[in-house]
Amino acid sequence: MDYIRLPSTLIILLLVFSSDTTWPSCLAVTSAQELLKGFSATPVSSVSSFQPILSDQFGNFSLGFLRLNRNQLALAVIHVASSEPLWSANPIHLASWSQSTRLFFNGSLVISDPETDLLWSTATHDGDRVVLLNTSNLQVQKNGDSGSVIWQSFDFPTNTIVQDQNFTASMALVSLNGLYSMRMGADFMGLYATYTGGSDELYWKRTPLEAKAEIVEGDGPIYARISSDGYLGMYQTSTKPLDVQKFKNFQRPNPLFLMVRTEPDGNLKGYCWDGSTWVLNYQAIDDICELPNPCGSYGLCTPGASECSCLDNRTSYSSPGGCMKEGYGDLCGSGIAEDSYWVLRRRGVEPAHKELMRYEMANSLEKCEGMCEDDCRCWGALYYNATGYCYVVEHPIQTMVGTGVESKVGYFKVRKDARGQRKRVGMVVGIVLGVVVVAAVIGAVSYERRRRRGGGKGMGEEEDRVTSGPYKNLESASFRSIEMSNSH
């Protein structure tokens, strides 16, 4: 047993039980402080939610097997007190919770599962040990002069960054459903929606205010970092921030731990661990109607109203179906007849983030609509005669915002081939749905957990109450939580 270094009492316990693959649950709480070459672990069938493998010096964070959807497995770093996952090696491509799945360290940290064809590794070859730092950063280190770091999870964030973690232009924080991501641009921070077919659209943008430091061209890319002083900062080379997005606890003493996450509804939210619960203390988008798709395809979000409605006033918004099936792909290509769509018009609507959208100038509504009609990549056009702006939508129509200004007119293409659509959408949605089901099951688990705890509040529950109710799409699938195997 020279693979892992443990406090001596634990070593004795482990030696007693190490030949037994189904350890008593009291042993599931023991986890190493360091993994050495030769280490290997497989999931234990009796563990219901999390099997710890490696922890930091204080036991605040733990690397282990996270059990999802009954029989699936993610290798994850969680915050122990809340069971909240902060990082995952394989957030989308899950392994199976079975004996065929193995985590081992041979210089590289490797997780392999022939059943689901998963082979993930740190690709490090000559690492000497794996440690989990007190910041939640998982590192593969090499012996030598200064114990150099050859791989760290902080360089490969999933949907979350924690305080003091550098978020650079080569990274992306992708929501669990795979639809939204936060990324750094050359001189801004942005949120992007990804559409089927792979195209991206920027829907939220934050440009540094440069109050304390200025961007110097040629000084390299900018990056972001959460400061323990309570803000999300952008930096270049100076230690002074180019920009400060304040959290609610800005400069208030003693926030225990901060994180920022891209949520499945497309918002970017910041949370503070106050010792017993995660408190929402920052969000990039405050108004529900400014989110990318709060009412679903062909939906209408009216600021101030408490309900979603539909662009087609003959359709009523009802979850989970929403207004209309999502369109897919484009209306181009052979085999797509000219009459493959019908046109829906609606007055008093506009795109949520029109200031970030491409537009053409048109001197009449007819010209604007004509441009869209002639272009098979166009799904819709929105015209405002007072400015002459014609916004062109080049992806399937999502939620629009109600303005009350009747001279803003929307023109939308709706696919006719409902039958064909159902088939083809089935394939695309199948992929998305897989992820949504994951989120839903996680949501159910977290609900169950809160219920059993006697109604304790989880992250997102209390703060997101405002978004529940009619805004069904916004209900927080965002709260991923699991029950620790050592919590009873």
Ligand X SMILES: *[C@@H]1O[C@H](CO)[C@@H](O)[C@H](O)[C@H]1NC(C)=O
Residues making contact with ligand X (CB under 6 A): 58, 60, 81, 106-108, 110, 125, 133-134, 154, 164-166, 256-257, 273, 275, 313, 385-386, 407
Q: By C-beta, is 26 or 256 nearer to ligand X? A: 256
What is the rounded distance in angstroms from the CA atom of residue 1 to the CA atom of residue 209?
Answer: 55
CA 388 to chain centre: 37
Q: What's the token pair of residue 236? A: 């270049």
What is the rounded distance in angstroms from the CA atom of residue 339 to the CA atom of residue 415?
Answer: 9
Q: By C-beta, is 203 or 278 nearer to ligand X? A: 278
Residues 477 and 439: beta-carbon distance below 8 Å = yes
Q: For residue 320, say if its preceding peptide bond is cis, omega within 30 degrees of 0.
A: yes
* Smallest distance from ligand X to CB 302, Å: 14
* Smallest distance from ligand X to CB 43, Å: 18
Going by C-alpha positions, the residue among 347, 294, 338, 340 that lies closest to residue 317 is 294
* Smallest distance from ligand X to CB 169, Å: 13
Residues 319 and 270: beta-carbon distance below 8 Å = no
Q: By C-beta, is 164 or 187 nearer to ligand X? A: 164
The torsion angles phi and psi of 230, rounded to 5 degrees, stand at: 95, 40
The torsion angles phi and psi of 139, rounded to 5 degrees, stand at: -125, 145
* Smallest distance from ligand X to CB 59, Å: 7
* Smallest distance from ligand X to CB 237, Å: 8
Residues 249 and 237: beta-carbon distance below 8 Å = no
Q: By C-beta, is 110 or 362 nearer to ligand X? A: 110
**What is the residue type of 188?**
F
What is the rounded distance in angstroms from the CA atom of residue 221 to the CA atom of residue 133?
Answer: 27
Q: By C-beta, is 107 or 470 nearer to ligand X? A: 107
* Smallest distance from ligand X to CB 422, Å: 26
Q: By C-beta, is 110 or 323 nearer to ligand X? A: 110
What is the rounded distance in angstroms from the CA atom of residue 484 to the CA atom of residue 83?
Answer: 6
Q: By C-beta, is 337 or 386 nearer to ligand X? A: 386
* Smallest distance from ligand X to CB 201, Å: 27
Edge-to-edge order in the sheet of strand 243-246: 223-227, 231-235, 243-246
Please enumerate in sequence order all residues whose Cβ is within 8 A of that of 237, keeping only pairs 6 or more positions apart, or say none: 216, 219, 220
CA distances from 351 to 194, 293, 419 (A): 17, 10, 29
Q: What's the token pair of residue 454? A: 């006697």
* Smallest distance from ligand X to CB 164, Å: 6
Q: By C-beta, is 106 or 207 nearer to ligand X? A: 106
* Smallest distance from ligand X to CB 439, Å: 24
The torsion angles phi and psi of 116, rounded to 5 degrees, stand at: -105, 5
Q: By C-beta, is 60 or 69 nearer to ligand X? A: 60
Q: By C-beta, is 195 or 479 nearer to ligand X? A: 479
* Smallest distance from ligand X to CB 254, Å: 10
What is the rounded distance in angstroms from the CA atom of residue 402 to the CA atom of residue 404?
Answer: 6
Residues 34 and 5: beta-carbon distance below 8 Å = yes
Please enumerate in sequence order all residues whose Cβ is within 8 A of that of 159, keeping only pairs 6 or more positions apart, or say none: 91, 173, 174, 175, 176, 261, 262
